[in-house]
Amino acid sequence: MNVHGVNDVRQTQKHTAEPLVPDPSVFEFHLSIENTKSHISLSIDQIPAELIKAGSRTIRYEIHKFIISIWNKE
């Protein structure tokens, strides 16, 4: 983990073969929730779409934070 000229490993850039895709924005997240069809079969997480769609701003914010966390950890 010896990086030349860098004291803090967090300062290094990630070099990947894949293009870096920006985090999903709050707008994209809310738009995808609104466009989700209701009354569809449950996915692997067993959370009905209606529950997420009916959620408050706080619940949507927390779900978005969770998604960003997963996104950044790949």
Residue 23 contacts residue 71 (beta carbons within 8 Å): yes
Q: pTM of the entire structure?
A: 0.57
Q: Residue 5 — left, alpha, or beta (φ > 0 → left; ψ -120 to 50 → alpha)? A: left
Of all residues in the chain, the percent with pLDDT exceeding 90 is 3
Tokens of 2: 């010896």
Of the two residues 20 and 31, the one the predictor is more confident about is: 31
Using the predicted structure, report yes or no on whether residue 9 has a pLDDT greater than 70.
no
Q: Is 19 or 67 the better-scoring residue by pLDDT?
A: 67
Write down the pLDDT at residue 17: 64
Alpha carbon 33 to its chain's center: 13
Q: Which pLDDT score, from 0 to 100, does residue 11 have? A: 55
